[in-house]
Amino acid sequence: MKTYFDFERHRTNYRRETLAGFTTFVTMAYIIIVNPAILEAAGIPRGPSTTATILAAAFGTAIMGFYAKRPFAIAPYMGENAFLAFTVVKALGFTWQEALGAVFIAGLAFTVLTVLKVRSWLADSISPSLKYSFAVGIGFFITFIGLNETGIVSLGVAGAPVRLGNLTQPSVILALCGLLLTVLLMLRRVRGAIVIGILATTLLSFLSGVTPLPSTIVSLPPSPEPIFLKLDLSGALTPKFLPVVLTVFVMAFVDTIGTLIGLSARAELLDEKGNLPEIEKPMLADALAATFAPLVGTSTTGAYVESAAGVEEGGRTGFVALVTAAMFLLALFFAPLFTAVPAHAYGVALIIIGSFMISPVTRISFSDTTELIPAFLTIVLISFTYNIGVGITTGLLAWPLCKLLSGRIREIPAGAWILALLSLSFFLFYPKV
């Protein structure tokens, strides 16, 4: 294993990689509960959906680890699941079977484009400044999620969308204590500071009665049979459903490219040109996972921003992903235990992680307005729209437009124009509720 994952070149070891994998899992274990809860609104039964969510995450993450050798976890995307449940099914009136059919078609398209190396060609056509803005934007996005999950920041009122949360609330106090502890451990250069902070906050939450102890630790996974292979391809291929398929494709396409490049930038896996070597491998892992997910009965999967937690713990190889995949499989039987971690505990980790994710901002070209404006729009819209896809598509659309308007059309590669057209289609065809 050490040789296969080249621990020596990455200056890592089993302990560091295992800890990183566990940390990644803990920060994203909420998906086991949240994804089925969202998809239930579309009529997908929660029990089978929980099993499907875990299987999709384990499958995709294992491929990412063993084949692509990257420290990134794959799981059903937040945002895409809400889009399918609330927009496609609830608002537009399509069935969840048709929605899963759209996900499958998008996954097949990803696979074909990856094998043909079209996706990697498109990824290489993205400007370095824009690539680094993906990492920064995701960093702010993660921080915002963490602040909201801990209750430090909460929803405001019209004219003031967000505000300072109730700092006297017990869960917020525990989050602040966990944040202080984690920062202290990091200042002392303690390995595993993030996961120690999560576990300590969770333990205090149990002891103080803020979070109830799980009623059971071990449980048998619900059968996925009611949703297994129930996707409706014929319905998804009708002309009226084309905008939905296109939207699912573009959302997942830009989310994956942005997340992979952003995480790789933080993990220092990009080359001197800002490209990810052998990017086809993580993209193929993502494509295969996206194709597998609807077969077992869940929504679009992709690389998860919470993988940054493992990266910050020093994880650099695919062994991290294998550990995370193993944890997901264990969660099939220990879901009550793993999902007992409260939001104000893992939210602390997200705040810390976000602070490290913004370091690539120094590599953005501030002296070139044609680079700065698209990068800025990407960063702010990822956070302020609460949607990675919106921010990335805006940046991909703004970059060639700024170059064109400044008379520098020769600097625009062909791939950038294609990405701009895809980004434009995202806004044009996004179903209106």
pLDDT in the model for residue 338: 65
- Radius of gyration over alpha carbons of the chain, in Å? 21
The neighbour count for residue 167, using CB atoms within 10 Å, is 11
Structural contact between residues 99 and 84, judged by C-beta atoms closer than 8 angstroms = yes
Beta-strand pair 160-164/301-303: unpaired
pLDDT in the model for residue 5: 78
pLDDT in the model for residue 205: 93
> Over 90: is that where the pLDDT of 341 sits?
no
Tell me the pLDDT of the chain averaged across its residues: 83
Highest mean pLDDT among 97-106, 114-123, 309-318: 97-106
Tell me how far apart the alpha carbons of residues 215 and 82 are, in angstroms, rounded to a whole number: 29
> Over 80: is that where the pLDDT of 258 sits?
no
pTM: 0.71
Candidates 230, 287, 266; CA nearest to 113 is 287
Q: What percent of the chain has pLDDT over 70?
A: 91
- Please tell me the least confidently modeled range out of 88-102, 214-228, 268-282, 317-331: 268-282
> Over 90: is that where the pLDDT of 197 sits?
no
pLDDT in the model for residue 63: 94
Residue type, 37: A
pLDDT tens digit string along 400-430? Answer: 999 999 999 998 998 889 888 888 877 776 6
Tell me how far apart the alpha carbons of residues 271 and 308 are, in angstroms, rounded to a whole number: 19
The CA-atom distances, in angstroms, between 325 and each of 22, 78, 89, 164, 279 are 10, 18, 30, 36, 21
> Over 80: is that where the pLDDT of 176 sits?
yes
> Over 80: is that where the pLDDT of 250 sits?
no
Tell me how far apart the alpha carbons of residues 344 and 178 are, in angstroms, rounded to a whole number: 9
114: which residues sit within 8 A by CB, 6+ positions away? 120, 280, 283, 284, 287
pLDDT in the model for residue 91: 66
The CA-atom distances, in angstroms, between 374 and each of 5, 168, 207, 363 are 36, 40, 48, 14
* 199 — pLDDT class (breaks 50, 70, 90): confident
Q: Scanning the structure block, which residue is given the tokens 């917020």? A: 172
> Over 60: is that where the pLDDT of 158 sits?
yes
The CA-atom distances, in angstroms, between 135 and each of 115, 183, 250, 322 are 26, 22, 19, 23
Q: What is the mean pLDDT of residues 350-368?
A: 81
Tell me how far apart the alpha carbons of residues 39 and 44 are, in angstroms, rounded to a whole number: 6
pLDDT in the model for residue 79: 63
Candidates 175, 166, 169, 140; CA nearest to 342 is 175
Structural contact between residues 137 and 376, judged by C-beta atoms closer than 8 angstroms = no
Tell me how far apart the alpha carbons of residues 87 and 251 are, in angstroms, rounded to a whole number: 14
> Over 80: is that where the pLDDT of 242 sits?
no
Candidates 41, 110, 87, 398; CA nearest to 243 is 87
> Over 70: is that where the pLDDT of 301 sits?
yes
pLDDT in the model for residue 88: 76
Structural contact between residues 307 and 73, judged by C-beta atoms closer than 8 angstroms = yes
The CA-atom distances, in angstroms, between 39 and each of 46, 82, 86, 102, 382 are 8, 7, 9, 15, 23
Tell me how far apart the alpha carbons of residues 280 and 250 are, in angstroms, rounded to a whole number: 18
Candidates 362, 361, 365, 367; CA nearest to 380 is 361
In angstroms, how far apart are the furthest CA atoms of the chain? 65
Structural contact between residues 168 and 151, judged by C-beta atoms closer than 8 angstroms = no
Highest mean pLDDT among 104-108, 216-220, 278-282, 290-294: 290-294
> Over 60: is that where the pLDDT of 126 sits?
yes
Q: What is the mean pLDDT of residues 388-392?
A: 76
The neighbour count for residue 183, using CB atoms within 10 Å, is 16
Residue type, 133: S
- Please tell me the least confidently modeled range out of 83-87, 235-239, 328-332: 83-87
> Over 80: is that where the pLDDT of 24 sits?
yes
> Over 70: is that where the pLDDT of 194 sits?
yes
pLDDT in the model for residue 61: 94
> Over 70: is that where the pLDDT of 432 sits?
no
- Please tell me the least confidently modeled range out of 358-362, 391-395, 408-412: 358-362
> Over 80: is that where the pLDDT of 256 sits?
no
